[in-house]
Amino acid sequence: MRLSRFPLATTKEMPADAQVISHQLMQRAGYIRKLGAGLYTWMPIGLKVLQKIEAIVREEMNRAGALETLMPAIHPAELWQESGRWEIMGAEMLRLKDRHGADFCYGPTHEEVIVHTARQDIRSYKQLPINYYQIQTKFRDERRPRFGVMRAREFIMKDAYSFHMTQEDLAREYENMRAAYIRIFTRLGVDFRAVQADSGNIGGSASEEFHVLAGAGEDLLAVAEGGSYAANVEAAITKPLPPPAAPGAALTKVSTPGQKTCEQVSKFLNVPLSGKVKLLVVKGVEGGLVAIALRGDHQLNEIKAGKHPKLASPLTMADPAEVQRVFGAEVGYLGPVGCPVPVIADHAAAAIADFVCGANDNDHHYTGANWGRDASYVEQADLRNIVEGDASPDGVGTIKFYRGIEGGHIFQLGRKYTQAMGFTVLDETGAAVTPYMGCYGVGVSRLAAAVIEQKHDAAGIVWPDAIAPFRLLICPIGSDKSPAVKEAAEKLYAELLAAGVEVALDDRGQRPGSMFADAELIGIPHRLVIGDKGLATQQFEYKQRSAAAAEMIPATVEAVLAKLAA
């Protein structure tokens, strides 16, 4: 590619609306242009990157035996009503009507469509297992799109769906996809982690996320140092702890005027946060109230709580007025001693003795409270977020947190959708059975941003070779004045093209400074400078984007190819 014929719209100025580095760099380097909130145009240079990511994903899916399809972006409402998700998806789903007034949505995901398609075409166990995939545009009306293409409303996703006769075969394909995903992320050239995950409103049982590790990541990952456990914090489990020590202090009611939060009470009474039990009042599954007891320094995990059989799903906090009526005290002075509603204690809260808690009396707390003697719970459960320093739930290692950007997610869905949508096939005995289903997603457009979050420096993007828009950029110095430079650059450009190298020639006639600045901003992995100085000794100047300094190499195409192969 000749840059004189290729639109490079780089800018020195920071775009006003970009908060994270990948968004800033993608805009400054001219990879994307914003059309509206969460809506982006991929400019020619950006599309090159996107298509390279797509190609890697496509190759690995094909290698894993999945079959490419292309499904419509617009779906009839009936399909979503069948699965029950027409209501569940809520405002995140963009809905529209056609000229006849019929309801449609812009597909946020394609389980419904693929199950519908499969139930029409697949009738025999002989046709299973099968794994369909597509690389296609999705639309999710995010409550808050941000960070450019990292959380956009319209985005490119690879989604795959597999169908199986047995749970075991689903588990086998899940492992097959897991291996394919590891290959994909490895080929992208990024540091990543596969972590256990919550399956969200997609549903199903086993699920893992693939995260690109980056400080700007929206997800918090709990990774066992010295162990193998890794999970999204929202899904990381915590285990029961040994029972509390015997009571060592008497239950004492103390005046704590105006001290409502755990932090305030902790400071006021000079006890550590971890020595306090806080009570959260939520709606029970049968409408009444239930209290959740947590250690003062722990946070409720709403996903875990929402899944608890005694608690309303999704988790719903009690109305403060109702709490006042039932407890006779304000939120802020609640505790398990004399609690008027059933208490479910988090494992960690249940393991402490002589704790501080609200007295269910405004402006008062108890000290020296103990389970059994002073307070009771109906059940212990895992209801909190794991924290750094916790022992790994599998017993090996200690939890440390990382930030990650979710680039892929794989699920074993089971029969949730196949059952809801009446998809059956005949087995060997002629009986109709409901197949098992898995689904596997990669956020293709998000990955472009995620890679930049991890691979950049002060000058710009540092693309891994595998997804760079060009592998090598030739910068001729003063080619207007020096026929020798121009000739050498043109010759090398032609030779590299002939050798199949994705090479760009900066023939815009720019001065060196702006050529170098652009090369670094757009992140080309290899740069070759041709100038009269070097040519005098038959040399080119080669620099790898991430290297500290340039080096001189012989002015031959062979020497350049050798550097690219290194």
Partner RNA sequence: CGGGGCGUAGCUCAGCUUGGUAGAGCGCUUGCUUCGGGAGCAAGAGGUCGCAGGUUCGAAUCCUGUCGCCCCGACCA
Q: Supply the minimum distance, in Å, between the C-beta of residue 121 and RNA.
A: 40
Q: Supply the minimum distance, in Å, between the C-beta of residue 517 and RNA.
A: 3
- Check residue 481 for interaction with RNA (CB under 7 A): yes
- Check residue 13 for interaction with RNA (CB under 7 A): yes
Residue among 77, 171, 202, 317 that touches RNA (CB under 7 A): 317
- Check residue 511 for interaction with RNA (CB under 7 A): yes
- Check residue 520 for interaction with RNA (CB under 7 A): yes
Stretch that binds RNA, among 110-118, 156-164, 176-184, 475-483 (CB under 7 A): 475-483
Nearest to RNA of 66, 343 (CB atom): 343
Residues whose CB falls within 8 Å of the CB of residue 378, separated by 6 or more in sequence, listed in order: 310, 342, 343, 344
Pick from 375, 372, 373, 342: nearest CA to 357:
375
* Three-state SS letters, 400-467: EEEEEEEEEEEEEEECHHHHHCCCCEECCCCCEECCEEEEEEEEHHHHHHHHHHHCEECCEECCCHHH
- Rg from Cα positions in the chain: 29
- Check residue 513 for interaction with RNA (CB under 7 A): yes
- Check residue 129 for interaction with RNA (CB under 7 A): no
- Check residue 302 for interaction with RNA (CB under 7 A): yes
Cα–Cα distance for residue pair 347/565, rounded to 1 Å: 55
How many of the other CB atoms lie within 10 Å of CB of 328? 13
Inter-residue contact 488 to 524 (CB < 8 Å): no
Site string for RNA, 378-417 (x = CB under 7 A): -------x--------------------------------
Cα 284 to the center of its chain, rounded Å: 31
Nearest to RNA of 64, 323 (CB atom): 323
Taking the CA atoms of residue 72, residue 78, residue 79 and residue 81 in that order, the dihedral angle to the nearest 10 degrees is: 140
Residue among 87, 121, 428, 480 that touches RNA (CB under 7 A): 480
Nearest to RNA of 318, 504 (CB atom): 318
Place of tokens 């805009």: 27
Nearest to RNA of 21, 56 (CB atom): 21
Stretch that binds RNA, among 374-382, 391-399, 472-480, 556-564 (CB under 7 A): 472-480
Q: Supply the minimum distance, in Å, between the C-beta of residue 130 and RNA.
A: 37
Nearest to RNA of 266, 418 (CB atom): 266
Instruction: Decide: residue 513, CB within 10 A, 0-12 exposed, 13-18 middle, 19+ buried.
Output: exposed
Q: Scanning residues 176 to 235, which ones bind RNA (CB under 7 A)?
A: 234
Stretch that binds RNA, among 32-40, 46-54, 56-64, 427-435 (CB under 7 A): 32-40
- 3-class secondary structure, 349: helix
- Check residue 436 for interaction with RNA (CB under 7 A): no
- Check residue 34 for interaction with RNA (CB under 7 A): yes
Cα–Cα distance for residue pair 65/475, rounded to 1 Å: 43
How many of the other CB atoms lie within 10 Å of CB of 470? 23
Q: Supply the minimum distance, in Å, between the C-beta of residue 102 and RNA.
A: 24
Inter-residue contact 366 to 335 (CB < 8 Å): yes
Pick from 155, 153, 117, 151: nearest CA to 136:
155
- Check residue 78 for interaction with RNA (CB under 7 A): no
Q: Scanning residues 540 to 559, which ones bind RNA (CB under 7 A)?
A: 541, 543, 550
Q: Supply the minimum distance, in Å, between the C-beta of residue 319 and RNA.
A: 9
Q: Residue 279 has which token pair?
A: 């009570």
- Check residue 241 for interaction with RNA (CB under 7 A): no
Inter-residue contact 72 to 113 (CB < 8 Å): yes
- Check residue 31 for interaction with RNA (CB under 7 A): no
- Check residue 360 for interaction with RNA (CB under 7 A): no
Phi-psi region of 154 (alpha: psi -120 to 50; beta: other; left: phi over 0): beta
DSSP 274: G
Residues that bind RNA (CB under 7 A): 10-17, 19, 28, 34, 36-38, 143-147, 234, 260-262, 265, 278-282, 294, 299-302, 315, 317-318, 320, 323, 331-334, 358, 385, 459, 477-478, 480-481, 511-514, 516-518, 520-521, 529-534, 541, 543, 550
